[in-house]
Amino acid sequence: MPMNSRLLRPVSTTHPEAQVWRNAVIANGGSVSASTLKAVADFCKAIDAAGIRDKLYRVNLFAGTGLNACLVPLYRGPSRTGTQYGNTTDTNTNFVSGDYVETGASGGLKGLRTSTKRLDTGLAPAEFSGHNFHASSYECATSDTSYDTSIGAWRGANTAGFSLGLADNTGLYDLSLISNAIRVTASPPDGHIIGTQTGNRAGAIFRNGVSVSTSYVGGANTGSDWSLVTWAIAIFVAQSGAGSFSEYSSARLGGYSVGLSLNGTQVAAFYTAMQAFQTALTRNV
């Protein structure tokens, strides 16, 4: 073998987790273009470089060709080989193929409040502590109706769980933690929205990598027992009890995440990776 033969071998641009995701998409009846695979691989590499992979328990980037591809999450646990949480795919209720466009100005998965469209992750708040948690959504276009939840699951007033989405008007966005909420005024509140909780009434909402609110409204305690919320976190709605749903959203989402709390530096790195991915699919805002 010539001395320089290894220099002539092509360098792989993929990433192990991107490849596992691609294989899962194909097994679920979807497909993945070379450009999307590269964008997913670049996202994975950026997350690794930022040192936040173990903070991300579930991430779906709503990518690949066809609705079946869109339903396959990229991450299902804090590592590829460790414990995996939730369903192997997001369980679909009422979304149809026309609701999903992978790329372009209309890209993302589009909800509709009146048609009760939702996804079920299979991952429950019981896996987390209310004092060490984050949830995020990439809002390509925010819902047009107040009290619409992009992601959430909770048990009832003053009990346990969370919702992330529009508040009591379309210019407010909040992370509600039962009787508490971190609330931000933004019109429209689109882009990468992250709500993170680090302690009792300690947390923030970040928009596009920058903290936009650290003030709370409501009661005094967010330290309720999340182990009581054993039903799954839902997307485009809050599951407010096993099989009970409230606050459906008409948002168009480019992805979501659930995991452990993130500090400001980690949020900024997550946003950079997410925005680069959304830009590669030409659906960034």
DSSP 160-179: SEEEEEE-SSTTEEEEEETT
Burial zone of 110 (CB within 10 Å; 0-12 exposed, 13-18 middle, 19+ buried): buried
pTM: 0.92
Q: For 42-86, how does the pLDDT look when each residue is reduced to its tens digit (9 = 90+)? A: 999 999 999 999 999 999 999 999 999 999 999 999 999 999 999
Q: Does residue 72 or residue 221 have the better pLDDT?
A: 72
Average pLDDT over residues 35-46: 98
Q: Please tell me the predicted confidence (pLDDT) of residue 276.
A: 98
- What pLDDT was estimated at residue 144? 79
Give me the amino acid identity at 213: S
d(CA 115, CA 251): 13
Do the beta carbons of residue 192 and residue 274 sit within 8 Å?
yes
Q: Which residue, among 206, 201, 198, has the nearest Cα to 177 in the 3D structure? A: 201
Of 128, 61, 67, 130, which Cα lies nearest the Cα of 93? 67
Encoded tokens for 235: 């997307």
| Alpha carbon distance 128, 260 (integer Å) | 8
| pLDDT given at position 44 | 98
Q: Which domains does the chain have, with CATH numbers?
A: 12-280 (2.60.120.200)
End-to-end, the C-alpha distance of the chain in Å comes to 50
For 170-173, which contacts have Cβ atoms below 8 Å and span 24 or more sequence positions? 170/142, 170/143, 170/144, 170/145, 170/146, 172/146, 173/142, 173/205, 173/207
